[in-house]
């Protein structure tokens, strides 16, 4: 897979580093709104091709896929443009909080026989699979509750994360991981309620949400730009609990701890590079060797839950989620 980077975002560094560790992916091009920046970036990272403007990258026949690392509010527009240009798309999280956009984009990808994948890299880490298997396999008995947290202190209010016009906010930036973790363990939510703390720029600097899932499972989510750096996923069951200390960035280190029957056990987890596994799954999907781990149903489930939590936080009260048969998959 010959990949082009659509922007010079900071997160590209992880993708360039991960691509260098696999022979499945070659990062060959970058585009920036600023030509000097594109050329300097290509030189610094040893990339063959630098493009002035994102359209030029999409017109480049030397690439068959693009990595979209733009601010959230630009994900959908540029994913659609990339698909229309015949490129496979790996788009950073969160794809969108608008279910209709997700449906439109996946329809466009299917019609063009291209792969579109949302870049929630933690899902590719073996730790995530292990946690999912333990909970689904009854290691803590019947699941009762999920608690998911992701926070860090955002001081730079000029950053896209703090700008409403680029769809910033804590829910979108870090809350999308909490939503994903809750959905992974407890299934698609049926109802949402939330409280938010608005910042001076108009985005949610913190959002505290509750999701009600089937079988009386409730998840509580905390997404915050006004607390210190924390991440945690806890699954509470009838017979025990499972605590994942570094659920979203397993590489930052932290145990998976299983407590039941008065005993505490640290679950061994294989070390792995989630960014490399994500790229390899994307390449496999393009070559028809595997399904994308994160396809249409997952992106749609994410968008529906994000939309419901946003609406609940804005309006107060409980929002009932629309569910569709495609989410049963
Ligand atoms: N999966 C992960 O681990 C992870 C981690 C961090 C972030 N992310 C996601 O990756 C995306 C990028 O995050 P980031 O922190 O890496 O972003 P960033 O460093 O702020 O870069 C965003 C890039 O978008 C381009 N851009 C185009 N229009 C822009 C505008 N109006 N304002 C600002 N930038 C604009 C810029 O590139 P040019 O100037 O070159 O055109 C800029 O370098 C976000 O969606 C975020 O949620 C994912």
Say which CATH number the domain at 19 has. 3.40.50.720
- Cα distance between residue 276 and residue 282, in whole Å: 10
pLDDT for position 261: 86
pLDDT for position 329: 40
Q: What is the mean pLDDT of residues 38-61?
A: 98
Closest CA to 189 of 243, 145, 159, 153: 145
- Cα distance between residue 181 and residue 230, in whole Å: 15
pLDDT for position 321: 93
Cα of 9 from ligand 1 centre, angstroms: 4
208 with 320, same domain: the answer is yes
Question: Which residue's C-alpha comes closest to atom 15 of ligand 1?
Answer: 10
Strand segments, DSSP code E, in 213-296 are: 218-224, 230-237, 240-244, 256-260, 263-266
132 with 202, same domain: the answer is yes
289 with 310, same domain: the answer is no
- Cα distance between residue 278 and residue 214, in whole Å: 29
* pLDDT for 170 beyond 70: yes
Assess if residue 314 is contained within a domain: yes
% the chain with pLDDT above 70: 98
Assess if residue 151 is contained within a domain: yes
219 with 93, same domain: the answer is no
Closest CA to 15 of 69, 78, 80, 83: 69
Give the mutation target among 11, 68, 81, 281 for probing the ligand 1 site: most ligand atoms within 8 A of CB: 11
* pLDDT for 26 beyond 90: yes
Question: Which residue's C-alpha comes closest to atom 21 of ligand 1?
Answer: 9
pLDDT for position 328: 44
Answer whether 55's CB lies under 8 Å from 32's CB.
no
Q: Is the pTM of this model over 0.75?
A: yes
173 with 192, same domain: the answer is yes
Give the mutation target among 6, 7, 94, 169 for probing the ligand 1 site: most ligand atoms within 8 A of CB: 7
Cα of 181 from ligand 1 centre, angstroms: 23
Instruction: Name the domain count of the chain.
Output: 2
> Residues near ligand 1 with C-beta < 6 Å?
7-11, 32-34, 37, 69-72, 74, 92-93, 119, 121, 160, 166, 173
7 with 86, same domain: the answer is yes
Cα of 264 from ligand 1 centre, angstroms: 41
Question: Which residue's C-alpha comes closest to atom 36 of ligand 1?
Answer: 7
- Ligand 1 atom, smallest distance to 176 CA: 47
Question: Which residue's C-alpha comes closest to atom 32 of ligand 1?
Answer: 160
Assess if residue 272 is contained within a domain: no
How high does pLDDT run on average in the chain?
Answer: 96
Give how far the C-alpha of residue 226 lies from the chain's centroid of Cα atoms, to the nearest Å. Answer: 21
Q: What is the mean pLDDT of residues 198-204?
A: 98
- Ligand 1 atom, smallest distance to 37 CA: 40
- Ligand 1 atom, smallest distance to 120 CA: 1
Q: Which domain holds residue 190?
A: 123-266+302-328
* pLDDT for 325 beyond 80: no
Cα of 38 from ligand 1 centre, angstroms: 14
């Amino acid at each position: 897979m010959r990949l082009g980077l659509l922007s010079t975002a900071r997160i590209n560094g992880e993708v360039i580093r991960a691509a260098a560790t696999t022979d499945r992916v070659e990062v060959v091009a970058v585009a920036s709104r600023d030509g000097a920046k594109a050329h300097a970036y290509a030189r610094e990272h040893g990339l063959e091709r630098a493009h002035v403007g994102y359209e030029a990258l999409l017109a480049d026949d030397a690439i068959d896929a693009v990595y979209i690392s733009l601010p959230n509010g630009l994900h959908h527009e540029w994913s659609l443009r990339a698909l229309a240009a015949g490129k496979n798309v790996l788009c950073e999280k969160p794809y969108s909080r608008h279910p209709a956009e997700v449906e439109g984009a996946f329809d466009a990808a299917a019609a063009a026989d291209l792969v579109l994948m949302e870049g929630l890299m933690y899902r590719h880490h073996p730790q995530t699979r292990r946690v999912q298997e333990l909970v689904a396999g009854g290691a803590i008995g019947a699941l009762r509750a999920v608690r998911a947290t992701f926070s860090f202190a955002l001081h730079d209010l000029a950053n896209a994360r703090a700008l409403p016009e680029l769809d910033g906010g804590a829910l979108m930036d870090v809350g999308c991981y909490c939503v994903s973790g809750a959905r992974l363990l407890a299934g698609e939510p049926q109802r949402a309620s939330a409280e938010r703390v608005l910042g001076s720029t108009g985005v949610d600097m913190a959002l505290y949400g509750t999701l009600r899932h089937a079988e009386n499972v409730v998840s509580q989510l905390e997404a915050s730009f006004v607390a210190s750096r924390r991440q945690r996923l806890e699954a509470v069951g009838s017979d025990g609990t499972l605590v994942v200390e570094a659920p979203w960035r397993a590489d930052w280190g932290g145990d998976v701890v299983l407590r039941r029957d008065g005993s505490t056990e640290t679950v061994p987890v294989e070390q792995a590079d989630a960014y490399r596994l994500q790229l390899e799954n994307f390449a496999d999907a393009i070559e028809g060797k595997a399904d994308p781990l994160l396809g249409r149903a997952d992106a749609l489930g994410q968008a529906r839950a994000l939309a419901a939590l946003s609406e609940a936080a804005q309006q107060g009260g409980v929002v009932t989620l629309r569910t569709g048969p495609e989410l049963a998959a």
